[in-house]
Structure formats: structure tokens, C-alpha cells
Amino acid sequence: MIMGECQVTTETKTFEPKIAAFLCNWCSYAGADLAGVGRFQYPATIRTIRVPCSGRINPLYILKAMANGADGVLISGCHPGDCHYMSGNYVARRKFALIDSLLKYVGLEEGRVSFSWVSAAEGVRFAEVVKGVTERVTALGPNNGVFKVQDGGGTNE
Amino acid sequence: MVYLKYKTGGEQMSSIVDDIRATARQLLTDGKVDVVIGYEKGSLPLKATPCFVRSPQDIDKLIWDETCENNLAAFSTLTEGKKAIIAKGCDSRALVVLLQENQLVRDDLYIIGVSCQGVINKKKIEAETGEILEASIADGKVTVKGMVCDKEYTFTEVKDASCQTCRYPNPVLEDIHIGGSIDVPQQAAVFADVAEMENKTAGERQAYFQEQMSKCIRCYACRNACPLCYCKECFVDCNSPKWLTGGVDQAENLFFQAGRVLHLAGRCVECGACSRACPQDVDIRALNRKMSKDVFTMYKHESGISMDSNPALNEYSADDPEAFLVKE
């Protein structure tokens, strides 16, 4: 999955970010579904990747999404206490806190990678979260290359 | 500050070496172990080499001094049979983590604990003197004859950065202790170096790490020196999914280093073997120290100091911090 070049159209100069969204099957994915069924509008910036549980999200997924050119990453799972597998998101929470801190430490801008809990009943909230994330990533502009591999990762000089 | 005080008084390095050799000889002749993992004099000055002693006649190869910088726990998982291993404070912490993760069998392991006053970082010296041609250590002084110039250092000046902040110079797990132990004042972990970096702006940090990562040649010496990088297949070697392309790219170097640090989250024992092994002098330590600080501040966890505690990421609590959540 190559996200490709950022879309800056020369005529309008509008930047529409591409955001990789890792959503847990039981809550956030269902929340996104509810947003669709309920026809709550949100920007078409996210590319949804359904994962069984937020605990299944390998830290490398986040880095790889950005290496492949994603302008932002959204990670969402069940609220703590509501995990379908009892403790998956508790385990994930510790990982996420450390990843978030490390990414900021190496100079990734705040807002490039976002974490949120969205339940299956929160269709409206899912739309709000995506709106907020899209606004922040749009304000930041295209992937600044901290993790983005140039030239599709060939043997460029 | 850490200062040296031998409990038995007046003991010297040489008697520690004698005791190590005597213990190793006893273990091998009694058939208690198949191999003793220790250090021998290396082919380069100021650098000892790991050494695997399988028969009593090789025992006199074993040495112990400030040049014994490898973390021998890295070899414990690769060595078959019953093994005795010479362990500094950090080596023993790595062994504890390996035992917790079921990578070692306690009954097959005999830990010869030695208190460590720190090891020499050759790169600090070579930055000034050029390639080291000859060197000697005596009375806390390191005398170096280099390609560019000759110089004399005090041991403290050339001590490795991880030894400067070491809080566990004495082995935390051992079957026998050799020599005296080192008094360490009880104090909480201090992360002044990390705090200094955190106080810089995001742009400055980004520039710093880009500069550091542009030096990395992805030789994976850091991974190979690390006692806790024991995966049969490392993510960097994995073809499916192909995490890294293998191309020359500074962003990919950061991907590798960040990925490695994340894999060591709550496990890294800060022995500094990765930084010392790095031929390009990449500041790997800056990333590992940040991770240690976060694990310590968020989860009050220090890796490998007790067999009773679980690794930080194997546990959770209902009130773990959630500062990472997106602000709505």
C-alpha cells in the first residue's frame, strides 16, 4: 500500500491529507459504520484498516504507514474497560503512551499521529474525531519526511 | 555519586582475576558447567573480547578489567549446555530479563557476579588521539599512544556514558560474588540528559535525530551486541511484511532505531552495549534513555532489577496515564 504523493493541486492549492486509520473491529470500526448508516458527514481523508483489537496494532504499523507516505495516522479502539477481549486495549494503552512520547521526542509534530477511544455507539463522535484529526493534519501540511521513505525506498542517493 | 569501596579492604583487580579463574577452574573440573563465558585480552588495545572456556587449560586466558565492555548476557541465549557467565551489574539485569522471558533455564546458568566500576569507551579516546596504538591502565590512569597524539586520561574521563549514570554496579542476581561490592547511595533514577533533550524545541530535536540517523549505516551491530535482541528473525530481516527496503535512507534508519527502541520498551537495561558497538557513533542511547525514562515515570518500572516483577508491558492497570489521547 503506497500512499503516494500528497495531493496539492496547482489550481486550488488545497491540500487533502491521506490518513491511515487503524480501527478495532468491535468498537471503532462499528462506530465508523454507525456514522455511515446515520449519514453523519466527515471528511473523506481516512483510509480505514480494520484490526481485530487495538492490542493487535504493532507499533511498526504506525511507522510503516508514515514511511509509505501517509500524512497522518489515526488509531482507535474500545474505551478502556469495554474491550471485547477484556484487556486488549489496556495492554495497547501502555504501548500507545510510549509510542506517542517517543515519536514526539524524535521530532514528529504533535497531531501527526492521533489516538482515540470510540465505541460502537459513538457514530457522531467518530465523525467529530475524524474532522478534528483532518483539521490538525491539514494544518500541519504534507508528511514532513521524519519517517517518510523517499523515492519509494529505492537506492536513492 | 558512585565510589569504590571494597568491603574486604585492599583487594585489587589482580586478585579478582585470580578468584574468577579459581572459580572457573572449580566449575569446569567438577563438571558443573560445560562452558565459562568470560573475557580475554582482545587483539586491539583497550578492548577485551568475549571468551568461551571449555577446558581447564584455557582458564588462564580469562581476564577482568575496565576494558570488559561486552554484555555477556548476549551470548547466554546462543550458547548450548550448562554455562557459567561472568556478570557485571548490567549483565545480571539482562540475565534477569532473559529469565523472566523464558529465554534461559535458571538451573543451566551459574552466574559469577563481579561488581563493576564502569568500562572504558574507546571512542571517546579515539576522537582525540586517533586510532589507539598502545594503551595501559594503572592506578586509575589510562595512558594512550595514538595515531595523532599521545595522551593520559583519568578513568572517570573515559568512562562510558551509561556507566556514568549506572545505579546497579553490583549484580542483582548471582550464584557467587567475586571481589568487593560498590556502595551506591540510594537514590531515584535521574534522567538529566533526557530532560535536557526534552527541553529543546521539536525542530531542534528533529534536526538532532536526523543528523544522528544520517550517520547510521544499518550494520545492525547495535542489535547484535544487545543481550535482549534475541528474536530468531528480526523485523529488519523480515521479507513479508517487508518493513524496511534496505535502501540508503535516513528516514528508514530512524524507522529501524525507533522500532528497536519500541521493542526494548520496558526491557532495556541500559548497559550501553549498543552505543559502544556502533562504528558510526550514533547516539542510540538518547532514544533508549528516553524510553527508560517514560517507562519509569509512567509505570514506575525498572527492567531486570528483580525476578519478582513483571516486564512493564506485560502488565496494565485501570488508571494508566492517558495523556497521549487526542484532545477533543
Q: Which pLDDT score, from 0 to 100, does residue A14 have? A: 85
Contacts of B284 (CB under 8 A, 6+ apart): B222, B257, B274, B275, B278
Three-state DSSP at B209 gives helix
pLDDT in tens, chain A (157 residues): 455 555 555 555 689 999 999 999 999 999 999 999 999 999 999 999 999 999 999 999 999 999 999 999 999 999 999 999 999 999 999 999 999 999 999 999 999 999 999 999 999 999 999 999 999 999 999 998 899 987 654 443 3
Q: Which pLDDT score, from 0 to 100, does residue A151 have? A: 62
pTM, full prediction: 0.91
Would you say residue B6 has pLDDT above 70? no
Pairwise CA distance, residues B69 & B63, whole Å: 12
What is the span of the domain harbouring residue A48? 24-139
Q: Which pLDDT score, from 0 to 100, does residue B119 have? A: 95
Contacts of A59 in chain B (CB under 8 A): 259, 262
Give the model's confidence band at B247: pLDDT under 50 very low, under 70 low, under 90 confident, else very high: confident
* Residue A146 within any structural domain of the chain: no
Three-state DSSP at A11 gives coil
Please tell me if residue B323 touches chain A, with a CB cutoff of 8 Å: yes
- What is the DSSP code string of A20-74? EEEEETTTHHHHHHHHHHTT----TTEEEEEES-GGG--HHHHHHHHHTT-SEEE
Please tell me if residue B3 touches chain A, with a CB cutoff of 8 Å: no
Contacts of B240 in chain A (CB under 8 A): none
DSSP single-letter state for residue B16:
H
For B183-205, the pLDDT digits (tens) are 887 777 789 999 999 999 999 99
Percent of chain B residues past pLDDT 70, beyond the cut: 96
Name the B residues in 220-279 with CB < 8 Å from any A CB: 235, 241, 243-245, 247-249, 251-252, 254-255, 258-259, 261-262, 265-266
Contacts of A104 in chain B (CB under 8 A): 202
Pairwise CA distance, residues B34 & B108, whole Å: 10
ipTM of the complex: 0.90
Would you say residue B214 has pLDDT above 50? yes
Q: Which residue of A has its CA nearest to B287?
A: A102
Name the B residues in 281-310 with CB < 8 Å from any A CB: 287, 290-291, 294-295, 298-299
Domain count, chain A: 1
Q: Which residue of B has its CA nearest to A95?
A: B313
Q: Are A96 and A31 in contact (CB under 8 A)?
A: no
Q: Which residue of B has its CA nearest to A76?
A: B325
Rounded (5°) CA angle B48-B96-A86: 140
Please tell me if residue B10 touches chain A, with a CB cutoff of 8 Å: no
Handedness of CA B199, B204, B207, B212 (dihedral sign): negative
Domain ranges of chain B: 1-118+168-183, 122-158, 192-314
* Residue A18 within any structural domain of the chain: no
For B75-110, the pLDDT digits (tens) are 999 999 999 999 999 999 999 999 999 999 999 999
* Residue A30 within any structural domain of the chain: yes
